[in-house]
Structure 1
Amino acid sequence: MAAISVRDLAEDVAARLKVRAARHGRSMEAEVRAILTDAVTAPEDEQPNLAQAIRERFAAIGGADLQPPRRSDMPRAADLPDVP
């Protein structure tokens, strides 16, 4: 089993960790273990990407139905300099 040390942990972070551990009925060490385990074992697909997060946030108000603007001219090709 691996062991790690956390140096220079801010006092306010340590205090909040202590409170969080007490709420869960664990020691601070057990709380840190639980936090780290949850962080690395949570499937990434459960976490929404930015577009999904925005969509979910505004879904309650009906969202927005935007139409893309019509193009009148075709886009021109980029003018790139010749590279020797």
Structure 2
Amino acid sequence: MSTVTIRNLDPQVKVALQKRAAANGRSMEAEMRDILSQSVAEVPDPNNNRVYGLGTRIHTMFAELDGLEIPERPADEARAADFS
């Protein structure tokens, strides 16, 4: 198992974590482990029961932005650096 140290945590966040942990009947450390595990877990799509990871979820969020296009770079734009 790995150990992670979180520095400069806002005191209000710590208090909220303590309250959430107490409400769930676990230690603050166990609560944070659960939060982290859930945040990176694969999530099933309710429409077709397939499982999607974080990358697919991010793509889905941004796919809703119609009209967002990345312009193609002209072929002659890239050139070697001149260090002379």
What band does the TM-score fall into relative to the shorter chain?
A: 0.5 to 0.7
Write 1 or 2 for the structure with the bigger share of helix: 1
Task: Note the C-alpha offset of 1:41.
Answer: 1.1
Point out the structure with max Rg over C-alpha. Answer: 1
Give the TM-score normalised by structure 1.
0.52
Gaps of 5+ in 1: 54-82
Give the TM-score normalised by structure 2.
0.52
1:38 match: secondary structure? helix
Aligned to 2:15: 15
> Cα RMSD between the aligned structures?
3.2
**Runs of 4 or more off by more than 3 Å in structure 1?**
44-51
Matched residues, percent identical? 38
Write 1 or 2 for the structure with the bigger share of strand: 2
- What per-residue deviation string (whole Å, max 9, x for no partner) do you get for residues 12-50 of structure 1? 000000000001000000000000011111327566944
Gaps of 5+ in 2: 47-56, 65-75, 77-84
* 1:44/1:11 CA distance change after superposition, 3 Å: farther
Aligned to 1:26: 26
Aligned pairs for 1:1-80 within 5 A: 1-43=1-43, 45=45, 49-50=60-61
Q: Which amino acid aligns with 1:9?
A: L
